Amino acid sequence: MVKDDENWLLPQRKPITRDVLDRAIGAEAEAASQEHQAQDAWFDGQHGTVMLKLTDGRVFGAEPGFIPSLRGASPNQLSGLRASDDGVYLVIESLDLHVNVDGLVTRIMEASPLAIKRSGARFAGLTTSPAKAIASARNGRLGGRPRSKPKTTAKHG
């Protein structure tokens, strides 16, 4: 409402035509195409990670502690994690929780490169393969990892 000298008046509104509706729908579709949308989402209980596959094929993972609304969630509750039908939200029905996918992906991508590097290294270290098993056995036969040398203190004199 708008107030003139003494009275409140309703603003003059333009009629809503088919053309106006079509432009609004087109603008909304354009905005939605610029946002990240989930194709699939799940909780990887083995690694304790919330996983997210986007419609453009990228896959992201984050520990539940990285997502404030999931910090107190149990693994059992997280096992119900899924993407909403339109891909806009991560949903956990048992918690009545909806996490915006675009906001989450933006937060993950804005995280420090060091944090991303550490989480990638952690997942790489969890990977097992026949080659790693052979290398580990060979290293064990050689006496294991070399002991670190104690640091000596410099003497001033």
- Give the integer Cα–Cα distance in Å for 110 and 39: 21
* pTM of structure: 0.53
- Give the integer Cα–Cα distance in Å for 36 and 89: 10
pLDDT digits 0-9 by tens, 73-131 = 999 999 999 999 989 899 999 999 999 998 888 888 777 566 656 666 666 666 677 88
The per-residue pLDDT for 113 is 65
pLDDT digits 0-9 by tens, 17-47 = 888 888 888 887 777 667 888 999 999 999 9
pLDDT digits 0-9 by tens, 129-155 = 788 778 877 877 766 666 777 776 666
Residue from 85, 113, 108 nearest 98 by CA:
85
The per-residue pLDDT for 46 is 92
The per-residue pLDDT for 124 is 67
Residue from 70, 62, 22, 9 nearest 38 by CA:
62
13 vs 156, more confident:
13
